[in-house]
Amino acid sequence: MQQLEQANFRGKKVLVRVDFNVPLNEAKEVTDATRINAAKPTIDYIRSQGGRCIIVTHLGRPKGNDPELSLQHIQGTVAQILGAEVHFSPATVGAEALAAANSLKDGEVLLLENVRFHTEETAGEKGFAAALADLADFYVNDAFGTAHRAHASTTVVASFFETEKYMGKLLAQEVEALNKVIKDGESPVLGIIGGAKVSSKLTIIENMLDALDHLIIGGGMVYTFIHAQGGKIGTSICEPELKDAALQLMEKAKAKNVQLHLPVDVVIADDFSPTATTATAPVDQIPDAWMALDAGPKSREAFGALVLASKTILWNGPLGVFEMESFAYGTIALGQAVAKATAKGAFSLVGGGDSVAAVKQFGLADQMSYISTGGGAMLESLEGKELPGIKALNI
Ligand code: AMP
């Protein structure tokens, strides 16, 4: 895999696939520019080397040409963040886009119209990928968030560049952060897998066992495990059809010398509601008609101690229904413990959807070693899958 620093971009046109799929408000202003900021180092670097950046990204899920999702809405924000003029091409490919690309000078930036205005993009259509490739001399992929998709601009386009294809800095950082946990994590390595369902996390857990010393299972997944062991779970979320899979997983963890930790006590509620009556119960003695929605105080303490004793921490998925204040304390306590461990020198990677939302919501984001920018891509990497967008960069 080639790193950006190996290329000579001077005077060359560089097609840079980024993930600028940012949220817009009603006035079509960018409300969170995290993703634009995340790709800035790559664009800055190419520009500083005299490269001519042709930025390609999707925005939302347009059905055909949709002015509401035109990238023109974000042109100003991109220019402001890059501190540079950003030209805009209303065409993504074809003569008009080519003319705009060809009129760029060294260090200049062109933003192409939303690549998903073309249905060929998500279909991974070769002709469309070829038309994108026609625009440039080099291809750089810095869109980790879409690296698990075999779309025209994320994957197929790379096949039209023999050797002139590179990982952007963000993509390289994501891969490095994952490897720091999965391949060469310093022991003790702790995985924390929370979230709603066992079914969506089973492959991840299985795949990660080789890398871990300890595994905390939290969130709604817990009750399938407790049910499988004969515990009373009341009306807590459960996937009884995965009972055997859960027991097998416990056996596998044992065989691989991974210590599995489940909560010992939980916060229970008489309703799935922020105003429900709550109480604390042992995890396997949840009364009928009550449901468990968070880790209890003893569990928080035990998990906190485990986190503080770890050198490498991977966290995916909340410990409870953190969206409701009454059931957020387990996730908050865990986030605080991970922050503390990180300050003490542990490497912490937070990734995959809701745990990222949680650490942001609780103001802990800047206290983690690395926060992944790609939910789905992160989950698929953890499942052990090679991401098509990354594979396509191999030469
Ligand atoms: P996931 O996308 O699989 O990581 O799941 C995240 C969701 O799991 C969040 O929306 C949480 O509210 C939910 N969740 C966490 N713990 C529980 C629980 N005990 N019961 C029901 N849902 C839960």
Out of 12, 126, 197, 252, which one is annotated catalytic?
197
Half-sphere exposure of 360 (CA within 13 A, CB side): 12
Element (H, E) at 360: helix 354-361
pLDDT band of 86, cuts 50, 70, 90: very high
Does some domain include residue 152? yes
Kindly report, residue by residue over 268-297, the tens digit of the pLDDT.
999 999 999 999 999 999 999 999 999 999
Q: What is the pLDDT of residue 354?
A: 85
If asked whether residues 152 and 183 sit together in one domain, one would say no
268 in helix, strand or coil?
A: strand
326 lines ligand 1 (CB under 6 A): no
Of the candidates 22, 58, 35, the residue with the CA atom closest to the CA atom of residue 371: 35
How many folded domains does the chain comprise? 2
Question: Rounded CA gap, 76 and 56, in Å?
Answer: 16
Does some domain include residue 326? yes
Q: What is the pLDDT of residue 373?
A: 84
If asked whether residues 99 and 179 sit together in one domain, one would say no
113 lines ligand 1 (CB under 6 A): no
Out of 234, 330, 353, 389, which one is annotated catalytic?
353
**86: containing domain:** 4-167
Q: What is the pLDDT of residue 114?
A: 98
Does some domain include residue 78? yes
End-of-domain residue from the set 127, 146, 167 = 167
If asked whether residues 325 and 349 sit together in one domain, one would say yes
Does some domain include residue 188? yes
The position carrying tokens 């795949």 is: 207
If asked whether residues 371 and 303 sit together in one domain, one would say yes
Q: What is the pLDDT of residue 374?
A: 83
Q: Which two tokens stand for residue 173?
A: 């950082």
If asked whether residues 186 and 215 sit together in one domain, one would say yes
- The mean per-residue pLDDT over the stretch 61-68 comes to 95
**Longest C-alpha distance within the chain, in Å?**
71
Kindly report, residue by residue over 72-83, the tens digit of the pLDDT.
999 999 999 999
Q: What is the Å distance from ligand 1's center to 72 Cα?
A: 36
Of 200, 354, 378, the one to substitute when testing ligand 1's pocket (max ligand atoms within 8 A of C-beta) is: 354
Kindly report, residue by residue over 107-146, the tens digit of the pLDDT.
999 999 999 999 999 999 999 999 999 999 999 999 999 9
If asked whether residues 204 and 131 sit together in one domain, one would say no
If asked whether residues 137 and 86 sit together in one domain, one would say yes
357-362 contact pairs (CB < 8 A, 24+) = 358/318, 358/322, 358/328, 358/331, 359/335, 361/322, 362/328, 362/331, 362/332, 362/335
If asked whether residues 156 and 214 sit together in one domain, one would say no
Is residue 3 over pLDDT 90?
A: no
Q: What is the Å distance from ligand 1's center to 43 Cα?
A: 36
Does some domain include residue 392? no
End-of-domain residue from the set 112, 132, 167 = 167
Mean pLDDT of the chain: 96
Is residue 353 over pLDDT 80?
A: no
If asked whether residues 58 and 98 sit together in one domain, one would say yes
Question: Rounded CA gap, 227 and 375, in Å?
Answer: 29
Q: What is the pLDDT of residue 376?
A: 86
219 lines ligand 1 (CB under 6 A): yes
Q: Which of 79-88, 155-164, 184-193, 352-361 has the lowest mean pLDDT?
A: 352-361
Q: What is the pLDDT of residue 142?
A: 97
Q: What is the pLDDT of residue 331?
A: 97
Does some domain include residue 253? yes
Asked if 284 and 232 touch (Cβ cutoff 8 Å), the reply is: yes
168 lines ligand 1 (CB under 6 A): no
If asked whether residues 300 and 190 sit together in one domain, one would say yes
Query: Tell me, what CATH number does 60's domain have?
Result: 3.40.50.1260
- The mean per-residue pLDDT over the stretch 206-235 comes to 96
Does some domain include residue 147? yes
Is residue 27 over pLDDT 90?
A: yes
If asked whether residues 182 and 156 sit together in one domain, one would say no
Q: What is the pLDDT of residue 375?
A: 81
Is residue 352 over pLDDT 80?
A: no
pLDDT band of 258, cuts 50, 70, 90: very high
End-of-domain residue from the set 107, 142, 167 = 167
Is residue 2 over pLDDT 90?
A: no
Q: What is the Å distance from ligand 1's center to 346 Cα?
A: 26
Does some domain include residue 388? no
If asked whether residues 186 and 90 sit together in one domain, one would say no
